Amino acid sequence: MGELLLGKEVDYDAPYNPGLLCAIPRALGRAELGIDAAALPFFGCDIWNAYELSWLDAAGKPIVAIAELRIPVDSACLVESKSLKLYLNSLNQHRFTSAAAVCAALESDLGACVGSAVAVELYLPDRWAQFEARVPPGTCLDDLPLAIDRYTPAPELLTAAPDVIVSRCWFSRLLRSRCPVTGQPDWGTVVVEYEGPEIDAAALLSYIVSFRQHQEFHEHCVERMFIDISRHCRPHLLTVYARYLRRGGLDINPYRSSAAAAPQNIRFFQQ
């Protein structure tokens, strides 16, 4: 779909060009986890928010909007973030007859890139109030006392009491991973909704912190968390929802759940 552009100099004033989009096969990250594309162990999607979207109307006047992009978890590929930024920038000097025409172009171009239907919703400024930041749901883990020296994923830290069944929702703002191409830090908040044998909360926090030096795409980090918690704690129900800070006007919010439900696009304060 295009050459990987991370870490390279590029032309940010290129004309409208869907060929800028670069697809990354999901199988590359899932093979290590033993995930079978034909029988995914989770439902979900990746929610992208594009805060720097702009185009020209038919008279040449600039229009600005926020785009919400939902890429389904069963798409063959994910889209590389810098290529998406450059693609969106290529719309800046392109004339569209309406916002609906922009939405149609985004759905068509992104769908061709990832190999699946992509849902796009555009928010013009009169609807921006709904992006007001909120506190994550559940109980914050971050004040728990912690001694840890593991900064690559350590699922063996996870422990659960099989005789105690609980329903919990936790969140942590201490998630940090790194871009697998540039090594830059990716900061995020992760929400874990859980029903099953009681997880030791400090152990869960230690596990989240252990991603601190791990180099992997956002989507694959969340899938790794889902698989590790599932294997080590045997939950009846599990949802892992990470919301990463924006970079280049884009934030990425992977959602993986054992239940088939559409996640809310709720912006947290760091975003």
CA 206, CA 212: separation in Å to the nearest integer?
A: 10
Chain-centre distance for alpha carbon 193:
17
Q: Give the contacts of 239 (CB within 8 A, at least 6 positions apart).
A: 191, 192, 193, 194, 255, 256, 257, 258, 259
Is 186 noted as a catalytic residue in this protein?
yes
Our measurement of the distance from residue 215's CA atom to the centroid of its chain's CA atoms, rounded to an integer in Å, reads 15
Question: 41 and 230 in contact (C-beta within 8 Å)?
Answer: yes
Non-local CB neighbours of 58 within 8 Å, separated by 6+ positions? 95, 96, 97
Distance CA 55, CA 97 (A): 10
Cα radius of gyration rounded to whole Å, the chain:
19
* 46, 109, 186, 251: the active-site residue: 186
- CA-CA distances (angstroms) from residue 178 to 148, 189, 248? 19, 14, 16
Q: Are 251 and 243 in contact (CB under 8 A)?
A: yes
124's enclosing H/E stretch is none
Q: Is 221 a catalytic residue?
A: no
For residue 34, what are its two tokens? 């033993």
- How many angstroms separate the CA atoms of 244 and 188, rounded? 4
DSSP 3-state of 126: helix
- Please identify which of the residues 22, 45, 179, 221 carries the catalytic annotation: 179
- CA 157 from centroid of its chain's CA atoms: 24
Catalytic residues: 179, 186
